[in-house]
Structure 1
Amino acid sequence: MTVRRSRRKQEEPDLGILSSRTLFSLQRQLFETLAQQGHPGLRPRHGAVLAYLDEEGSRATDLATQSGQHKQVIGTLVDELVELGYVERQPDPADRRAKLIVPTEKGRDHMVKSDAILAAMEAEHAKAVGEEAYTAFKRVFKLVAERQTGGSALAE
């Protein structure tokens, strides 16, 4: 039975398989390109912080919520990114007890480059399948992702 299920999954992959294939392929291409552009020390796990980081800084609790990671995981990743020179901790002017995770010059360079790389990847996909189909795909995929995570993309 395992072979039949496996063969069926290959022919008609479910949402989990399609999502993971897309994520892992996207991460591989993104981080390989970033390494070529001067950011070789970053790993896909760092995306849990860097993908959600505001230029003005973000609280670790907000990064944890947005990325779906535990606060302890975010703390470890922030420690690694501080050591790599991508972020620094600064006092939050709105709450002296809290710290903001703020991108450094190197972190902002990464943010600009990763945005450009991802935009180019999306443009390639849109060209391959057609602008209209890609726009519809992203809209539907966003709705599914929001529904899956309990968000409300329907309100947008």
Structure 2
Amino acid sequence: MPSEPPPPGFELPLRLLLAFRTITDELHERITREGHPDLRPMYGFVLQAIGPQGTTASELGRRLGVTKQAAGKTVDNLEQLGYVERAADPADTRRKVVRLTERGMDCLLRSARIFDELREEWSEVLGEEQLRLLGDGLRRLAPGDPFRLDTPPWFGTP
């Protein structure tokens, strides 16, 4: 019985991107139902980059791989939506620190839970062993920090 030829090489990155979009879109559908309808995919990267300790707009820009001005504009949007706030840096009152609000922390906690639920659903479809093998293979093929937050500008969004 002849085996099928492997798919063309360009299909792999497209399938990986489609899987990323599928899980991200499902997260956003669910998080919208849980009270975060204004959240855009890019905002998740920004909230992660701010983190529970907060950061400055300059540092946020470095973490995201964008200019301080682009980071500041995104912070403006997130501030209007109630996800972040600006406050004086306790160590240097001339500097402003961007911090997550209670709403921002709620969003991150809900996102983490939803991603765990989605992983469980993918495990039900693929089987735990196959999903674990997929994850192991991806870690070997793409080693390094999985929290590389400079991805949004790579796709052309600040």
Q: Secondary structure at the match of 2:99?
A: strand
Gaps of 5+ in 1: 1-9, 150-156
RMSD, aligned CA:
2.8
Q: Secondary structure at the match of 1:99?
A: strand
- Gaps of at least 5 residues in structure 2 are 1-6, 150-158
Partner of 2:152: none
Sequence identity percentage: 30
Q: Which has the higher helix share?
A: 1
Indicate the SS of the match to 2:143.
Answer: helix
Q: 2:62 aligns with which of 52, 61, 65?
A: 65
Q: How many residues align?
A: 139
Residues 59/107 of structure 1: CA separation in 2 closer, same or farther (3 Å cut)? same
Match of 1:143 in 2: 143
1:122 is displaced (CA, Å) by 2.6
Q: Which aligned runs of 4 or more in structure 1 are off by greater than 6 angstroms? A: none
Alignment match, 1:45: 42
Report the alpha carbon displacement of residue 90 of structure 1 after superposing the two structures with TM: 1.1
Shift of 1:32: 1.1
**Counterpart Cα distance in 2 of 1:122 and 1:50:** 21
Which residue does 1:78 correspond to in 2?
75
**Which letter does structure 1 place at the counterpart of 2:132?**
E
Q: Which has the higher contact order (CA 8 A, sep 6+)?
A: 2
Separation in 2, partners of 1:30, 1:108: 16
Distance 1:77 1:58 in 2: 14
Match of 2:100 among 100, 103, 119: 103
Contact between 1:48 and 1:69, CA under 8 Å: does it hold in 2?
A: no
CA contact (8 A) 1:126 1:133 kept: no
TM-score, normalization by structure 2: 0.71
Query: One-letter code of the match for 2:21?
Result: F
